[in-house]
Amino acid sequence: MAGKFPGAPDLDSFWTLLMNGVDAIRPVPADRWDSTAQLDPEKEIQAVGGFIDGVDRFDAQFFGISPREAEAIDPQQRLMLEVGWRAIEDAGQRADALAGTRTGVYVGASWHDYELLRRDREARPTPHSLVGNALDVIAARLSYFLKVRGPSMTVETGCSSSLVALHLACQALRDGEIEAAVVGGTNLILDPHVTVGLTHFGGLSPDGRCKTFSAAANGFVRGEGVAALYVKTLARALADGDRIHGVIANTVVNNDGGGESLVTPSPAGQEDLLRRAYHTGAVPAGAPDYVEAHGTGTGRGDPIEATAIGRVLGADRDTPLLIGSVKTNIGHLEASAGLAGLMKNLLALRHRVLPPSLHSAELNPAIPFDDINVRVVREPTPLPPTGPLCLGVNSFGWGGTNAHVVLMSPPETEQTAAPGAGPVTGLPAVLPLSAKDTTALGRRAADLVPLVPATAAETAAQAGALAWRRDHHPHRAALVATDGDTLRTGLAALAEAPDGEPEAPGLITGSAVPRGGTAFVFPGQGSQWTGMGTQLFQDSPLFAEVVTRCADALRPHTDWSLLDIFSGRADDTWTQRIDMLQPTLWAVSLGLAELWRAAGIEPDVVLGHSQGEITAATVAGILSYEDAALLMARRSTIARRTSGHGRMLAVDLDRDAALAALEGFEDSVSLAVHNGPNSCVLSGEKEAVLTLKELLDAEGTYCRLVNVDYASHSSQMDPLREDLLAALAPVRPREARIPLMSTVRRTRLAGPEMDAAYWVENLRSPVQFADAVQAVLDDGITHVVEISPHPVLAPAVEQLTVGRTARTAVLTTMRRHHGGTADVATALGRAYVAGLEPFGGLPRNAAATVPGYPLRPERHWTDDRPRGSGAARGFDAPL
């Protein structure tokens, strides 16, 4: 929930105002109208009211509205956008998740003062002003901004409008018509027209105070307010782990239906309303504990309302029923009055104390308080510290449309982690921050500096709230929360230099790439280094679990222990033996892939380079761990027979130039790999490759020997074919759960075709990595993640993205000698900054304190031309 009320720009300050017994009524601000002028020839017009500040200010850029249009729009529409957004933030609901849902918007509103003000200032009507001053568009504009598909309506039933709007929303929720709703109420006093009319009507207090239930009650004072609630069914709110302020047990709407006059309150109508609210079994016996009265402070209305409350709800109680009215603090907010009272009650439920009503030192003698067993709350009054509470809210329209809402305290259950907590990764939390521009991003960081948590659990909760409970915008920052000091330093650096390139440990900044699909790519050899994965094996339970599973699967096929390598018990021999190196790379890459997946990053397609395709097939579900281990162990063992007889040479040439360079070497050297526009690998007999390198060096062509001593993807593999087919025959590939793009056949494979023959082909045929990557990019992949202990393929992928219309993010996982949990968390932070949402390891905890988006309102207002007064528009006859 969220709201702006007189003297209270937000609900925290609203509660402080209420508890301190503040009277927020003040003189009419000079920028509204000249309250000293003679606005009416017959009457003295009320020169005070409950006003909110900044009604002329609005963050048009955030809401996607041009300054020209914003100037023409009724500030009720503009402020409803802002307060509606704040209510959604307060609920912990991401607005982007609402797009396309059956979420309704119901707003109570009555007046259109801005249209009168524009007319008086001779502002020319425009399409913007016509739409911008229509009452129905107050709700419709919020629906449009949120992209929601539920009913959208502005409700006008006079001063009961906002509670009637809530009633309609609750009905739609109960009927299953909508999934959720934003319910609002708005009232602004921008022009004296209505105030002059109400003076003639006779409802306004000459001294400008609502003295509800007081002997001095003589009318009401007008007030402004804009408020919004986000509501959904209790079952769904609990399932979603939402922050719940209260439970709406019942809503009732009726009409007085005749009586003394159209605008005279009806005792019978009010009593009928309350009986229907409480005597239908919808609420517990003995309820309510308190009723927030409509309480306008009129000599006629107060006795009728208090007596109706007492007659229906005061009987058979051991103690008097407590009553009061927020209008004594902030005035009568008319169309938004009901939500003001409702939010007072919701805050009272949170704090379990009732704020005092004001201006009732001497009670109205026309109200038999003792006889009807009711008592006005005239000082802060504690409610029971435990157990369910029930509070009611009255709101009456001047045409006789009455509304009552019955509120219950929220369930006394711990609202912590909803879905989202996954395997224990052991990674530090990553705090995600974003904004629509870098200035706002810096302000978000500054807002978080004083809120840096003290413990790792609190940090994870805060990160979870930022991840799951806030929208994500293009300009982004991620902070790896290894400890509080590092986090505080990173936030401060970002706050101080949002437009530059702030530097601090664990801080990553950048702009998001619009998200399409995500590809995981797995390299072959070349990414290994001594000690890779050992730190993760110690510190990440999930990584250790995957490696142990790989070790169990490898054990029947090897005479060495994978766990010895990760525990540090083995020497460095494994780095020189392909039959040990390749299975170790497989295990590391699978462990890293599972860390990405535990973070919520699932691939839409996987690719593998050479032996990396075995890892890709394992992740895709085509190969079981057992089959992949057999394949990896047996194939690398047989391939080891050729060790020492071959070499591989990486060259900065395109495919045609690489083939041309092989002229004269065709029988001994092959084009083994095509990685990118100027990236190929040649493979073949050792002496021939070394000779070819000398020639290319002499020509000035950059080339380097790959750190392997055998020549895969060349004719040196041909003598191994029959042995490989026999050894790999037990492999039983399955249907892919995740699409796999073959770098052998340059097409997507279903899975079953990846049998023994395929894996021999994989070892012998050229790796067509460039074509495979181009194919997935053409299919809409926007984020490519290299999953390896050191980047090998990322540079080639980056080359392949050059010149493409759509942006592509190329991400890596670890780097040589930087392989701890903080390093993987940093990779996830880079993924967030690039546009992904690696939030799977974070709790969906709405209770953590997270500031809202730092809106930057600017003035948008009709030019201040010389203007007339109420009398100038014909207020020369009594209404």
Give the mean pLDDT of 148-161: 98
> If pLDDT is split at 50, 70 and 90, which confidence band does 878 have?
very low
Closest Cα partner for 80 from 3, 161, 194? 3
Q: Does residue 663 surpass a pLDDT of 90?
A: yes
In this prediction, residue 846 carries a pLDDT of 59
Judge whether 164 and 403 are in contact, CB under 8 Å.
yes
What tens digit of pLDDT does each residue of 408-445 get? Answer: 999 987 555 444 445 789 999 999 999 999 999 999 99
Give the mean pLDDT of 287-301: 95
Give the mean pLDDT of 804-831: 97
Give the mean pLDDT of 254-258: 90
DSSP string, 590-634: HHHHHHHHHTT---SEEEE-TTHHHHHHHHTTSS-HHHHHHHHHH
In this prediction, residue 44 carries a pLDDT of 86
pTM for the complete prediction?
Answer: 0.92
In this prediction, residue 870 carries a pLDDT of 42
CA angle 188, 192, 195 (to 5 degrees): 80
Percent of the chain with pLDDT over 70: 97
Cα separation, 759 vs 749, in Å, equals 13
User: How far is CA 33 from each of CA 82, 204, 330, rounded to the nearest angstrom?
Assistant: 25, 18, 20
Contacts of 700 (CB under 8 A, 6+ apart): none
In this prediction, residue 422 carries a pLDDT of 57
Give me the half-sphere count of Cα atoms (radius 13 Å) on the Cβ side of residue 601: 32
Q: Which helix (H) or strand (E) holds 128?
A: helix 127-132
Neighbours of 57 (CB within 10 A): 18
Cα separation, 261 vs 201, in Å, equals 14
Neighbours of 729 (CB within 10 A): 12
In this prediction, residue 417 carries a pLDDT of 47
> If pLDDT is split at 50, 70 and 90, which confidence band does 868 have?
very low
Give the mean pLDDT of 220-225: 98
Contacts of 527 (CB under 8 A, 6+ apart): 585, 788, 789, 790, 791, 792
> If pLDDT is split at 50, 70 and 90, which confidence band does 865 have?
low
For residue 139, what are its two tokens? Answer: 């709700």
Cα separation, 527 vs 506, in Å, equals 24
Q: Does residue 657 surpass a pLDDT of 80?
A: yes
Contacts of 279 (CB under 8 A, 6+ apart): 312
Peptide bond before residue 288 is cis, with ω within 30 degrees of 0 = yes
In this prediction, residue 279 carries a pLDDT of 86
Judge whether 419 and 403 are in contact, CB under 8 Å.
no
What tens digit of pLDDT does each residue of 319-351 get? Answer: 999 999 999 999 999 999 999 999 999 999 999
**Burial state string for 593-624 with b = 16 or more CB within 10 A and e = fewer than 16:** bbbbbbbbbebbbbbbbbbbbbbbbbbbbbbb
Give the mean pLDDT of 245-251: 97
Give the mean pLDDT of 358-374: 97
Give the mean pLDDT of 382-401: 96
Judge whether 72 and 129 are in contact, CB under 8 Å.
yes
Q: Does residue 71 surpass a pLDDT of 70?
A: yes
Judge whether 775 and 792 are in contact, CB under 8 Å.
no
Cα separation, 408 vs 248, in Å, equals 6
In this prediction, residue 36 carries a pLDDT of 84
For the chain, which domains are there?
2-7+60-413 (3.40.47.10), 421-512+835-854 (3.30.70.3290), 518-643+722-827 (3.40.366.10), 645-709 (3.30.70.250)
> If pLDDT is split at 50, 70 and 90, which confidence band does 264 have?
confident
Neighbours of 318 (CB within 10 A): 6
Judge whether 378 and 317 are in contact, CB under 8 Å.
no
What tens digit of pLDDT does each residue of 546-563 get? Answer: 999 999 999 999 999 999
Closest Cα partner for 781 from 808, 742, 749? 808
In this prediction, residue 415 carries a pLDDT of 52
Identify the residue whose tokens are 């409802």: 203
Identify the residue whose tokens are 């009398």: 871
**Burial state string for 511-537 with b = 16 or more CB within 10 A and e = fewer than 16:** ebbeebbbbbbbbbbbbbeeebbbbbb
> If pLDDT is split at 50, 70 and 90, which confidence band does 875 have?
very low
Give the mean pLDDT of 567-588: 92
What tens digit of pLDDT does each residue of 29-39 get? Answer: 999 998 888 78
Identify the residue whose tokens are 């060096």: 697
In this prediction, residue 139 carries a pLDDT of 98
Beta strands per DSSP E along 142-194: 152-155, 180-187
Give me the half-sphere count of Cα atoms (radius 13 Å) on the Cβ side of residue 215: 5
Q: Does residue 373 surpass a pLDDT of 90?
A: yes
